[in-house]
Structure 1
Amino acid sequence: MHRILIVDDEPLIGKGLSSLLAGAGLGIEDIHTASNGFEALDYLRLEEVDLMITDIGMPGMNGIELMHQARLIKPWVQTIVVSAHETFHYAQMAMRLGARDYLIKPLDAAQLLDSVRNALLQAERPAASEPDYAASLGGRFALQAPGGEPRRALERLLAQPSASTEQAGELAAAAGLRDTGPYFAVIRILPEFDARPDLSPKDKDLLAYAVMNLSTELLGKDWNPVPIALPDGEVGLIIGWSEERYDDSTVSKINQLDMIGRSLHHHADSFLRLPALVGISQIARGPEFLHLLADQARRALEWRHRHPGQKVFYYGDFSWSAAEGGAAEQPGEEEASAQTNRIVERSLRYIEENYAQKGLTLHEVSQRGHVSPNYLSYLFKKNTGYNLWEYVIKLRMEEGRRLLLTTDLRRYEVAERVGYESPEHFSKIFKKYYGYSPSELKKESQGK
């Protein structure tokens, strides 16, 4: 059964789309409607959502900005964009952010239902359940890993520094990286085969093959990744940014890497039933640095021993102290613990000072901690016991309840003061949190 989120600032359109989908026989379990991007983000944080249908032109936060934030929260959620304007620029940005379709208002009901049906089919692809993974997966995934001379060139780039920048460029061209870069990052996917004791050596080989193909299909034309099979079933991916894409200051590159890492982990677990760890390098310009990036991704994965609950590891999140011989190593337990505490304390302080700010985002908080959103979420949960956004909601609800009980402020004024765009949305979250509505609380307090 599917769960859909409809986002449109025109209530009649939201209700109309909800009625159309509810009666379409698509196996829809829940339909949530939000009147703006801020409300939509709360639904994404608090509810399971398979598909988001969002308008582009909304006040406060438009559909493109919403898609940016949604991909940080749940990068695997499918999106269909609707717009009153047939604007190529918006359509291009929406597709670049992974939109399944871009539809123009007034909407054609049949076209919308076809688009929704296709998106839901994409979201529910079943995991392979038969031992013969090659047979069950081969029809869906097209292997793109280089072989022969391209593979040897790629192995040389990843394993050792090139004699010169010119030589690195020649190897990159031979490895199939001509249309990738000039900015690069390396991602390593480490399947946790120990979690699947039922697998034979052949099954493990086939699953590693499936991980490689799933990864290349998932990132697709948007990233044009170059994959390589590594020892012990590990998979390497090289992704790149053109000069134009890298210069786009509206998109955080760390957020993009974070989104890719979490999406790779989620899809391997969901579609292959294979837990996997993901190590991500920083970004460097030029293929001559690929061997350093590959080493960063490998070393990022070493932190899995210190953080067994984490699944995605970005090299830049961790402190590296100089050791003898100029190498780098992980800091000691005491130093690492102190660093973690500083990150969480800064985040707590920032949230407590800004929880009433409309549109507060995980990206904003993680920037203050100088870490990726994924790492901050992990540390925050580990140290406080709260999901980061659960903590924001806790502060908002406690302050909202206090204001309702101790002041004569109206509901819309209370909602405004604790960071909500609309009193209706505040009331929904309040009732979900406490089990009773603001009006019920007021009535009970006045009756005493």
Structure 2
Amino acid sequence: MYNVLVVDDEPMICMGVATVLMNAGIDIAEVFAANNGFEALDYIRLEKIDLIITDIQMDLMNGIELIETIFAENPMIPTVVLSAHGEFEYAQKALKFGVKEYIVKPVIPAELVRVVRNLLAERDSQLRSLTDSTFNQKFSFEEMSSNRNHILNELVSEGFSDSEAEEVFQYLGRRFDGPFYCLLSIKLNLAKAGLHGADIRSFRDRNLLRYAALNVIEETLNGWERIVFHSGSHSISVILQFTMEEMNNSITRLNEQTMTAQLLHNHLRKFLNMESVIGISRIREGMQSWVDIAKEAKEAVRWSDVHKDHNVFYIEDFDKYENPPSAGGIPVTKQILDDNNSFIQSAIQYIDENYRQKSLKLQEIAEAICLSPNYLSYLFKKIVGINLWDYVTKLRMEEAKRLILTTDMRRYEISDEIGYESPEHFSKIFKKHFGVNPSEIKS
């Protein structure tokens, strides 16, 4: 059974979409309705959501901002956009961030049902058919060590001069002139993978898995400007390019590259049953930076020796350490443990001071303590024992309970005081947290 979230600032549209879907004979357990982006984020953090249908033009937080934030926090959720005719070009900005379909308003029920049914029934089919066909087709080992891989590895390890840039573009068959670049180094665990997680012992099976992994990565990054290539017997490298306009866009500041890496890790696990560790470089300017970003990404991967239960590592999260793992390996020292605890104490202090803020986001908290959102989420859960948004909700609910018991504030006043836009939404979360409605607390 699937859960669908509908987001629109017109309650009648939410109600209409929910009614159509619940009576369409689709395997849907519940349709949640949010009247703004902040309510939508609460549902995503508290419920298992399989599909999101969102309007583009909304007050408080528009649909593009919502889609970008969802991608930063949970990149696996597919999204359908509701848009007017004139909004299509604007909505295209979200193509990278999980948008699968557009439905033009006014919504035609039959079209809505068709789109939702297809996405829920076939959301995995494209990648599954891709990996299935990979395992069934013939390929040559020469392809795995192709001239293209050799040249690209040479470029990121030794570099090239400005005068050779045009020659590189000609060889690649397209321009790739950024001018900003980031590199992901993906270390594959080829010892055990496949449908049943069997031990992989043959040379052919290992290479077949490498080939399948590259296909999954290429398909996941469809819509991105990227170069993907094998960079060792157990590694694949991805170079992502960013334009000047993209660097000025807020989503880049949301550490888009860490969320993309997490999505790649999730897809490799989901479709190949393959574990991986991904290292992420900084975003740097110029093709001559390729050598530096390759070194940074490989250095980031080595931090998996310290955090063996984590899988995505952004190099800037570890800048303060003078002796990186490549200098001989890092044991889990008291300094690292103290630093991690210090980061989380700073995060807790920031949350305690700002949890009433309606627009509070993971990225804002991460920026305040100088960590990537991905690494902050990992450390918070590991050290505190609950995830970050459960902690925020707990603070809000405890404060709401205190205000109900000790003041004469009305429900809408309490809702506004602790960071919720609507009293109805606040009441739903309160009941989910305490098991009773706010009005029943005093009785």
TM-score scaled by length of structure 2: 0.90
List per-residue Cα deviations over 1:115-173 (Å, max 9, x = no partner). 223322453339869x977245x69xxxxx997543332121122233x3323553354
Q: Distance in 2 between matches of 1:232 and 1:35?
A: 50
Q: 1:183 aligns with which of 177, 180, 184?
A: 180
Query: Do 1:180 and 1:239's aligned partners in 2 also have CA atoms closer than 8 Å?
Result: no
Q: 2:152 aligns with which of 151, 154, 162?
A: 154
Q: 1:417: which partner in 2?
A: 417
CA gap of 1:212–1:401, structure 2 versus 1, over 3 A, is same
Q: 1:334: which partner in 2?
A: 334
Q: CA RMSD in A?
A: 2.8
Partner SS state of residue 252, structure 1: helix
Query: Do 1:188 and 1:236's aligned partners in 2 also have CA atoms closer than 8 Å?
Result: yes
Q: CA deviation at 1:252?
A: 2.4
List per-residue Cα deviations over 1:32-58 (Å, max 9, x = no partner). 111111110011111111210001122
- Letter of the 1:22 partner, please give it: M
List per-residue Cα deviations over 1:203-258 (Å, max 9, x = no partner). 3322221111111111112x132111132332111111123323x33322452101
List per-residue Cα deviations over 1:274-296 (Å, max 9, x = no partner). 22221111111122221221121
Q: CA deviation at 1:25?
A: 2.3
Structure 1: stretches of 5+ with no match in the other structure: 140-144
Query: Do 1:344 and 1:383's aligned partners in 2 also have CA atoms closer than 8 Å?
Result: yes
Q: Distance in 2 between matches of 1:199 and 1:296?
A: 30
Partner SS state of residue 29, structure 2: strand
TM-score scaled by length of structure 1: 0.89
Q: 1:213: which partner in 2?
A: 215
Q: Distance in 1 between matches of 2:292 and 2:114?
A: 46
Query: Do 2:355 and 2:418's aligned partners in 1 also have CA atoms closer than 8 Å?
Result: yes
Partner SS state of residue 115, structure 2: helix
List per-residue Cα deviations over 1:75-105 (Å, max 9, x = no partner). 1111111124522442222335342222221
1:11-90 correspondence runs (5 A): 11-84=11-84, 86-90=86-90
Q: 1:204 aligns with which of 185, 202, 206?
A: 206
Q: Distance in 2 between matches of 1:366 and 1:58?
A: 26
Query: Do 2:153 and 2:231's aligned partners in 1 also have CA atoms closer than 8 Å?
Result: no
Give the % identical residues: 39
Within the alignment, does 1:113 sit opposite 2:113 as a pair? Answer: yes
Q: CA deviation at 1:70?
A: 0.7
Q: Distance in 2 between matches of 1:262 and 1:431?
A: 32
Q: 1:142: which partner in 2?
A: none
1:367-446 correspondence runs (5 A): 367-442=367-442, 444=443
Q: Distance in 2 between matches of 1:226 and 1:146?
A: 15
1:167-316 correspondence runs (5 A): 167=164, 170-171=167-168, 173-176=170-173, 178-194=175-191, 196-201=197-202, 202-221=204-223, 223-246=224-247, 248-253=248-253, 255-316=255-316
Q: Distance in 2 between matches of 1:116 and 1:185?
A: 35
Q: 2:92: which partner in 1?
A: 92
List per-residue Cα deviations over 1:4-26 (Å, max 9, x = no partner). 11111222211111111112222
CA gap of 1:250–1:70, structure 2 versus 1, over 3 A, is same
The count of aligned residue pairs is: 433
Q: Distance in 2 between matches of 1:173 and 1:370?
A: 40
Query: Do 1:169 and 1:288's aligned partners in 2 also have CA atoms closer than 8 Å?
Result: no
CA gap of 1:320–1:351, structure 2 versus 1, over 3 A, is closer
- Letter of the 1:237 partner, please give it: V
